Amino acid sequence: MNTDVIEVLASGDLALLGRVPTASNLTLACRVSVGDDDFMCVYKPIRGEAPLWDFPDGHLAGREVASYLISDALGWDLVPETVLRDDGPADVDLGPGMVQRWIHVPDETTGPDPVDLVPVDDVAEHQMAVLQAYDEDGRLVALVHEDRPELLRLAVFDVVVNNADRKGGHVLVDDDDRLYGIDHGICLHTENKLRTVLWGWSGQPVPADLAADLRELTERLDDPDDVLTVRLASLITDEEIAAVARRARALGDDGVLPFPPSQRAIPWPPF
Scored b (16 or more CB within 10 A) or e, 121-145 reads eebeeebbebeeeeeeeeeebbbbb
- pLDDT at 23 exceeding the cut of 90: no
pLDDT digits (tens, 9 = 90+) for 169-211: 899 999 999 999 999 999 999 999 999 999 999 999 999 999 9
Q: What is the pTM of this model?
A: 0.94
Q: What is the pLDDT of residues 120-155, one digit of tens each?
A: 988 888 999 988 888 888 889 888 999 999 999 999
Share of the chain above pLDDT 70, in %: 97
